[in-house]
Amino acid sequence: MKPHQIQIDEQGRLKHFISIEGLPRDLLIAILDAAQSFAGVGERAIKKLPLLRGKTIATLFFEPSTRTRTTFELAAKRLSADVLNINVQSSATRKGESLLDTLRTLEAMHCDMFVVRHPMSGAAQLIASHVAPHVRVINAGDGRHEHPTQAVLDCFTIRRVKGDLSSLVVAIVGDVLHSRVARSDIHALNILGVGELRVVGPKTLIPPGVEALGVRVFYDLEPGLRDADVVIMLRLQNERMQGTLLPSAHEYFQAYGLTAAKLAVARPDVTVMHPGPINRGVEIDTAVADGPHSVILQQVSHGIAVRMAIMSMAMGSQAAPRRTR
């Protein structure tokens, strides 16, 4: 079964959240709209809604993470769920059986939802196909495959800052090859009908055949950034690189690092994004990361609202998705 087949129930509602690929446009828009309604909760004196009261959510991270795990935790707590954080130290070679064993143990504790990050592509789907029927699974990043909640928060951020996506030029810059964020972003932005989608980076870090996903490829930064409305910078994922794909971090910064001078070819009101963690002086200069075009910290806040929307919809606490556009 494909990831997108497992994540939607017979009524077309979100059941698990495994991938953006194959997600119906209506459902993606319904998630964005629900996130919009949750966005104000963090600014209230009492930051809680009772939607998931009495539910137990386990975050199961087989890879290190700070912002994704903590924003999932905060989102679950703001929905009044009980949260169990489990850090599982595992090597990339631990697969299949040990993963399902951990899961059985957690199921015996009557968890209602698992938020899973795993170095193996397909791990979240594997878990979703083995859990009890009432249990929900959210993919918080599986290997190089997808990071669907990140893509939703990226689209949410772009929609909030820029409004309509249909006339926008969006450039995704850097280590596209190893990036699950890039894959999910490409699918999400295409589903939403972005004007023009580009990927920019050295040949060794651009997946061969990526044009088939509906992107324009640029191997040089300047033409890739020219007239861009939105620039999404990616971290060099050294931990996923085998062999030497790059000369050095310094040379990478010279060629592909985003500085204020290089950004000048983009639109004057360009928005700069990054999923984090950022490597200052490698893919992005401090002056840009902290500069007036950057929405990197807003992305983190939006991540909470988006994860609240996804968790409550998957748990069936939201009204059925409605068409709004």
Q: Which residue is nearest to ligand NCD (CB)?
A: 235
Contacts with ligand NCD, residue ranges (CB under 6 A) = 67-68, 141, 147, 150, 180-181, 235, 237, 275-276
Helix (H) or strand (E) holding 261: helix 260-263
In the complex, the smallest distance separating the C-beta of residue 86 from ligand NCD, rounded to whole angstroms, is: 17
Where in the sequence numbering do the catalytic residues fall? 67-68, 95, 117, 147
Task: List all residues 6 or more positions away from 102 whose beta carbon is below 8 Å from its beta carbon.
Answer: 60, 88
Would you say 165 or 300 has its CB closer to ligand NCD? 300
Phi, psi angle pair for 49, to nearest 5°: -125, 150
In the complex, the smallest distance separating the C-beta of residue 180 from ligand NCD, rounded to whole angstroms, is: 5
Q: 26 vs 14, 57, 312, CA distance in Å? A: 11, 26, 17
Please give the Cα distance from 301 to 213 (Å, whole number).
29
Would you say 222 or 239 has its CB closer to ligand NCD? 239
What is the chain's alpha carbon radius of gyration, rounded to the nearest angstrom? 19
Q: Is the peptide bond before 133 cis (omega within 30 degrees of 0)?
A: no
**Could you tell me which of 153, 82, 154 has the C-alpha nearest to residue 113?**
82
Distance of CA 14 to the CA centre of its chain: 17
Alpha helices of 163-258 — where are they, by DSSP H? 180-191, 221-225, 249-256
Question: Three-class SS of residue 63?
Answer: coil
Would you say 136 or 180 has its CB closer to ligand NCD? 180
**Maximal C-alpha separation, the chain:** 56
Would you say 16 or 235 has its CB closer to ligand NCD? 235
Task: List all residues 6 or more positions away from 321 whose beta carbon is below 8 Å from its beta carbon.
Answer: 12, 13, 14, 26, 27, 29, 30, 31, 313
Would you say 146 or 229 has its CB closer to ligand NCD? 146
In the complex, the smallest distance separating the C-beta of residue 98 from ligand NCD, rounded to whole angstroms, is: 22
How do beta strands 113-118 and 136-142 pair?
A: parallel
In the complex, the smallest distance separating the C-beta of residue 57 from ligand NCD, rounded to whole angstroms, is: 18
Please give the Cα distance from 82 to 111 (Å, whole number).
9
Would you say 174 or 321 has its CB closer to ligand NCD? 174
In the complex, the smallest distance separating the C-beta of residue 152 from ligand NCD, rounded to whole angstroms, is: 12
In the complex, the smallest distance separating the C-beta of residue 185 from ligand NCD, rounded to whole angstroms, is: 11
